[in-house]
Amino acid sequence: MEILEETTGEKLLLLGNEAITRGALEAGIDVATTYPGTPSSEIADTFSMIAGEATKKNKNPRFYFEYSTNEKVALEVAAAASICGLRSLTCMKHVGLNVASDAFMTYVYIGCKGGHIIVSADDPGCHSSQNEQDNRYYAIFSGAPMLEPANPQEAKEMTRLGFDISEELKLPILLRTTTRLNHIRGPVEIKKLKEPRRKGYFEKNPMLVTTPAVARVRHSELLKTLKKAEELSEKSQFNYVLNFGKPDHWGIVTSGVSFNYVKEIVEDLKLNIKILKLGMTHPLPKKMCKKFIKACKNIIVVEELEPILEDQFKVMAHDIGSNVKIFGKSTGHFSRLYEYNPDIIADAFSKIFNIKNPFNKPKGSEITLPSRPPILCPGCPHRATYYAAKKAKPKDVIYPTDIGCYTLGRYKPLEMADLLLCMGSNAGTACGLAIATEQKIISFMGDSTFFHAAIPAIIDAAHHNHDVVITILDNRTTAMTGHQPHPGTDLDGMGRKAKRILVEDVVKGCGINQVEIVDPNKIKETTEAFKRALEFKGPAVIVSKSPCIILENRNKIKRGEDIFIYEIDQEKCKKCKICIAQFGCPAFYYGKDENIFIDIQQCNGCGNCATICPFDAIAPREVTK
Amino acid sequence: MKSKTSIVLTGIGGQGVITASNILGKAAVKAGFNVYVSEIHGMAQRGGTVDCTVRIGDVTGALIANGAADVILSTEPIETLRYIKYSNKNTKIITDITPVIPFTVSAGMEDYPDLDKIFEELKKYGLLYKIDAVKIAKEAGSILTKNTVMLGALAGIDILPFKSQILLETILENIPKRYKEINKKAFEGGLKAIKNH
């Protein structure tokens, strides 16, 4: 396995996320935990793959790894291990830290013993997220020291050395990444793998119980530790100045992936300038920053999202009585929105320096292109559930949705996603909608989301007898993030046998009496179940069970089974368009003369189109995929 | 030799665009070059449009500026045009000719433009190479080798700073043994198609 390469000095092409995992292995990681979420998922998936291979060979993996029920649990599990002296890593997407924040904020008060890296994968531009919150604020908010890598090499080294910083300060470290760090590949020079400690010991200490009296003491201790952290930041190899040409009184302050674009553009434009590249951004190395301010008359701050460095540099300039002019978001040269790219930075620099932008303005084609948004895969069982629910013909129905593939049910022709806040919000908002309106409510969530965050809301529905239909789309995986296991699967993240928790058992345990289990591929029966649920006064839950077609087909190929793809008998087809215009499987398309065809590249062979066709015009072909 | 080579790879989630980008990056490392690759994961992969970039040589960033691509390598005609902002008049544009109809078109919400018009439009932006990658992949033995056909085509335009043999070796190293022969055929098919263009 390449990620476990032992040849020191070898260069591997690693994804930023893989580099983080490698860094943890070079630091002797003992415990790694997560809840999967793009763009963080491959960090944990790499741990899972390593552990899974070891399990297959009946060997002990180097470390313990788990896909936890949610990010809060992931953080608590790893924090306890770190308190016992083990080295731990917890990774999650940015909004995952909101879920874990209750534990996180107080954890920083009591601190850790073994090093603990908490990875927050932010998503400027919302590639795969419901917001683009800037989690650097969490470092300032909590007091946790923060590292921000710019490329995979730095991500690996920051993770490796972050454990030392964490142990020196006895504080967890926030490793703040962004999509273009997580999902870029770059060369990474590897170092030796370190043996883990394997077992820790819990030393009892009253200061670990955060009663108000203890919390007051710990807060004061935290502020003292932050002074020490600032000294480490001054000496950190991740904070440095780079000179280009013959720098005069212009400087650039930057961090994270913005540095990559800034450096190339400074070189392309042959600017005479110095760059303060900050990698340890909380606490800032104030002496170093102030020295930089003093050496400049003008500073450009380049950072994605919020003006966090910019505001701190203004404060520091004020503190030393400097009149330095700071260009950034407040001067309108940079945006607080979305991710940056070379064009955005070149455009800002060309305005600031009054020079020509070296890059072309994008020339738009006059041809209008059809959009191609992400969609539910051909053969996805969620489509069958949606279709069946719609066939129950409820009038004026609201469809609260959730985080996962089924969010894609919002597109035509289904249009069955009306309200979304966060993980688990379908059930909570369903309850509120039932109180506020006379409208019918059918909410949707996945099985992993159910375990993650929806259980308290379902208890709320049961306890208050809210008149809602809550649907759990149980496809036995966490599909959107890359098919990770969850408490409802019978293998864990290390490939070991695990207790499978049944969704319907939990729902019944929450006090819901009207629970039906359906196979969505039996569309008529599923529709009938939705009708019964809608008629029921009070909370009704439908558990729609069918495995993710992508995973199922992968397994079929592994088992050597055939996947039959479907075709339309043009003689029998009456062009009623139910398959294409109502069911909306993306494998269907119009050919010449409005004839309908199934694209062999896309069909996944679920066969639901054959079920819904009123004219028996669709059947499996002879050929297999 | 140029000190930077910037390649945009586009297509649709599930067509192997990310795999192709990754293999191209690995080949560059194997040939001793510095390289950065950017990928798109997660939601965008569910049948949506995908754009990856590979930058080889004296580079620090993975993203490509407008008009700064040396090559656009695309597995679907409208996806080629969607990312045309990366091209300049010297950009080599390699596109597969087989459309994959977006569901927005199937569902009657939008129209798929006339193919010939797309190709005429693409010619305005750079040097266009059209290849029938679907046909070549099927001839090689599987439609799934389409991304390997595209890499073969890329090797055929002599823009990579290393030998095409290194790219082929990297492809073969990264796939199971039973698919090696068909991928070799697919690569050579793509290469030949460009040479005969």
- Cβ–Cβ < 8 Å for A536, A590: no
Pairing of strands A184-189, A11-15: antiparallel
**Residue A106, SS3 per DSSP:** helix
Alpha-carbon gap, residue B48 to A370, rounded angstroms: 12
B118 interaction partners in chain A (CB closer than 8 Å): 367
Task: Report helix angle B180-195 to B164-173, nearest 10.
Answer: 150
Is the pLDDT reported for residue A495 higher than 90? yes
Alpha-carbon gap, residue A373 to A381, rounded angstroms: 19
A127 interaction partners in chain B (CB closer than 8 Å): 40, 42-44
- A222-261 b/e (C-beta count within 10 Å ≥ 16 → b): beebbeebbebbeebebbeeeebeebeebbbbbbbbbbbb
Q: pLDDT digits over B38-68, tens only? A: 987 655 566 788 899 999 999 999 999 999 9
Model pLDDT, residue A621: 83
Phi and psi of A244, rounded to 5°?
A: -120, 130
Of residues A343, A361, A372, nearest to B104 (C-beta): A372
Is the pLDDT reported for residue A485 higher than 80? yes
Structure tokens at B50: 């995908």
Rounded to the nearest 10 degrees, how much is the dihedral formed by the CA atoms of A519, A525, A526, A528?
-160
Question: Of A569, A622, A484, A132, which is closest to residue A338 (Cα–Cα)?
Answer: A132
Mean pLDDT of chain A: 96
Query: What one-letter code names the amino acid at A47?
Result: F
Model pLDDT, residue A454: 98
Of residues B60, B102, B111, nearest to A260 (C-beta): B60
Q: For CA atoms A225, A229, A232, A234, give the dihedral sign.
A: negative
- Cβ–Cβ < 8 Å for B156, B148: no
Query: What one-letter code names the amino acid at B58?
Result: D
Of residues A360, A368, A580, nearest to B107 (C-beta): A580
pTM of the model: 0.96
Structure tokens at A507: 């729902």
Alpha-carbon gap, residue B194 to B197, rounded angstroms: 5
Q: Name the percent of chain A in helix, strand, coil, to the closest 5.
A: 40, 20, 40
Of residues B48, B64, B143, nearest to A373 (C-beta): B48
Is the pLDDT reported for residue B1 higher than 60? no
Taking CA atoms, what residue in B is nearest to A586?
B103
Cβ-defined contact of A586 to B41 (cutoff 8 Å)? no
Q: pLDDT digits over B4-15, tens only? A: 999 999 998 878
We report the CATH number of the domain holding residue B107 as 3.40.920.10
Alpha-carbon gap, residue A450 to A456, rounded angstroms: 10
Cβ-defined contact of B106 to A580 (cutoff 8 Å)? yes
Alpha-carbon gap, residue A247 to A271, rounded angstroms: 8
Domain A240-353 has CATH 3.40.50.920: yes
Structure tokens at B187: 């690569």
Name the residue ranges covered by the structural domains of chain A. Answer: 2-235, 240-353, 381-554, 562-624
Alpha-carbon gap, residue B125 to B88, rounded angstroms: 6
Query: What one-letter code names the amino acid at A410?
Result: R
**Residue A303, SS3 per DSSP:** coil
Cβ-defined contact of B41 to A41 (cutoff 8 Å)? yes
Alpha-carbon gap, residue A301 to A327, rounded angstroms: 6
In Å, how far are A118, A169, A381, B143 from A568, measured between CA atoms?
A: 52, 67, 20, 21
A11 interaction partners in chain B (CB closer than 8 Å): 29
Alpha-carbon gap, residue B41 to B31, rounded angstroms: 27
Query: What one-letter code names the amino acid at B173?
Result: E
Say which CATH superfamily domain A2-235 falls into: Thiamin diphosphate (ThDP)-binding fold, Pyr/PP domains (3.40.50.970)
- Cβ–Cβ < 8 Å for B123, B87: no
Alpha-carbon gap, residue A362 to B81, rounded angstroms: 12
Q: pLDDT digits over A431-457, tens only? A: 999 999 999 999 999 999 999 999 999
Q: Name the percent of chain B in helix, strand, coil, to the closest 5.
A: 45, 20, 35
Of residues A183, A184, A372, nearest to B48 (C-beta): A372
Q: pLDDT digits over A17-40, tens only? A: 999 999 999 999 999 999 999 999
Is the pLDDT reported for residue A95 higher than 90? yes
Partners of A240 in the beta sheet? Answer: A277
Q: How far is B59 from chain A (nearest CA, A)?
A: 7
- Helix (H) / strand (E) element for A11: namely strand A11-15
- Cβ–Cβ < 8 Å for B126, B104: no
CB pairs under 8 A between A and B: 184
In Å, how far are A60, A489, A555 from A477, measured between CA atoms?
A: 25, 7, 13
Cβ-defined contact of A480 to B42 (cutoff 8 Å)? yes
The alpha carbons of chain A give a radius of gyration, in whole angstroms, of 27
Cβ-defined contact of A127 to B44 (cutoff 8 Å)? yes
- Cβ–Cβ < 8 Å for B118, B128: no
Percent of chain A with pLDDT strictly greater than 90 = 90
Question: Of A263, A15, A239, which is closest to residue A145 (Cα–Cα)?
Answer: A239
Pairing of strands B127-131, B49-57: unpaired
Percent of chain B with pLDDT strictly greater than 70 = 96
**Residue A444, SS3 per DSSP:** strand
Q: pLDDT digits over A139-191, tens only? A: 999 999 999 999 999 999 999 999 999 999 999 999 999 999 999 999 999 99
- Cβ–Cβ < 8 Å for B126, B63: no
Question: Of A109, A99, A111, A117, which is closest to residue A33 (Cα–Cα)?
Answer: A117
In the predicted model, what is the mean pLDDT of residues A520-526? 97
- B97-135 b/e (C-beta count within 10 Å ≥ 16 → b): bbbbbbbbbbbeebebbeeeebbebbeebbbbbbbebbb
Q: Which residues, 6 or more positions from A124, have their beta carbon under 8 angstroms from its beta carbon?
A: A132, A134, A178, A179, A304, A305, A338, A339, A340
Is the pLDDT reported for residue A407 higher than 70? yes
Alpha-carbon gap, residue A252 to A273, rounded angstroms: 7
Q: pLDDT digits over A101-131, tens only? A: 999 999 999 999 999 999 999 999 999 999 9
Mean pLDDT of chain B: 93
Alpha-carbon gap, residue A56 to A43, rounded angstroms: 20
| Structural domain range at position B144 | 4-195
Residue recorded with tokens 């190929």? A557
Cβ-defined contact of B40 to A15 (cutoff 8 Å)? no
Residue recorded with tokens 């977006």? B102
Higher pLDDT, A624 or A41: A41
Is the pLDDT reported for residue B2 higher than 60? no
Phi and psi of B176, rounded to 5°?
A: -60, 150
Residue B118's pLDDT band, with cuts at 50, 70 and 90, is very high
Alpha-carbon gap, residue A593 to A47, rounded angstroms: 53
Pairing of strands B92-96, B127-131: parallel
Cβ-defined contact of A343 to B105 (cutoff 8 Å)? no
Cβ-defined contact of B46 to A405 (cutoff 8 Å)? yes
> Span A381-554: which CATH code?
3.40.50.970
- Cβ–Cβ < 8 Å for A18, A46: yes
Question: Of A88, A94, A245, which is closest to residue A171 (Cα–Cα)?
Answer: A88
Structure tokens at A496: 């070991």
Taking CA atoms, what residue in A is nearest to B11?
A372
Q: How many domains does chain B have?
A: 1
Mutation to test the B interface, candidates A7, A11, A13, most B Cβ within 10 Å: A13
Alpha helix segments (H runs only) across A170-211: 179-182
Pairing of strands A184-189, A618-624: unpaired
In the predicted model, what is the mean pLDDT of residues B136-147? 94
Predicted ipTM of the assembly: 0.94
Common-topology check for domains A2-235 and A240-353: yes
Q: For CA atoms A562, A565, A566, A570, give the dihedral sign.
A: negative
Q: What's the CATH class of domain A562-624?
A: alpha beta
Alpha-carbon gap, residue B87 to A20, rounded angstroms: 34
- Cβ–Cβ < 8 Å for A170, A26: no
